[in-house]
Amino acid sequence: MRKFPSLKAKIFYRVLTSEPLNYRLKRKGSGSHRILFSEGRETINFNWHDNEEISGQIIKKVLIKNARLTIEQAWEVIH
């Protein structure tokens, strides 16, 4: 089992909003809260500050559960 790396929130946000995931900002809440959507995928409530470090476990969970990727696809997206 591969260990997913932790990423800064601004880098993870960039991953989610670029190819192949193409998430878009649906609504910006107060502070660091952002609602992201992508057709055919679950909505993501992105609520991390730009310089906050997000653990690899959370990144893996979001990519697999919300973005509906396989483990291999999730690994490719972040590398």
Residue 70: how many other CB atoms lie within 10 Å:
10
Examine residue 2 and state whether it is found in any structural domain, yes or no. Answer: no
Examine residue 48 and state whether it is found in any structural domain, yes or no. Answer: yes
Q: Quick one: pLDDT at residue 79?
A: 87
Q: Is the pLDDT of residue 30 over 90?
A: no
Over residues 53-68, the pLDDT tens digits come to: 999 999 999 999 999 9
Q: Is the pLDDT of residue 3 over 80?
A: yes
Q: Residue 76 and residue 72: Cα distance in Å, rounded?
A: 6
Examine residue 1 and state whether it is found in any structural domain, yes or no. Answer: no
Domain count, the chain: 1
Domain extent at residue 73 = 7-78
Examine residue 50 and state whether it is found in any structural domain, yes or no. Answer: yes
Examine residue 51 and state whether it is found in any structural domain, yes or no. Answer: yes
Give 2's pLDDT tier (boundaries 50, 70, 90).
confident
Average pLDDT, the chain: 92
Q: Give me 43's structure tokens.
A: 């909505």
Examine residue 19 and state whether it is found in any structural domain, yes or no. Answer: yes
Examine residue 58 and state whether it is found in any structural domain, yes or no. Answer: yes
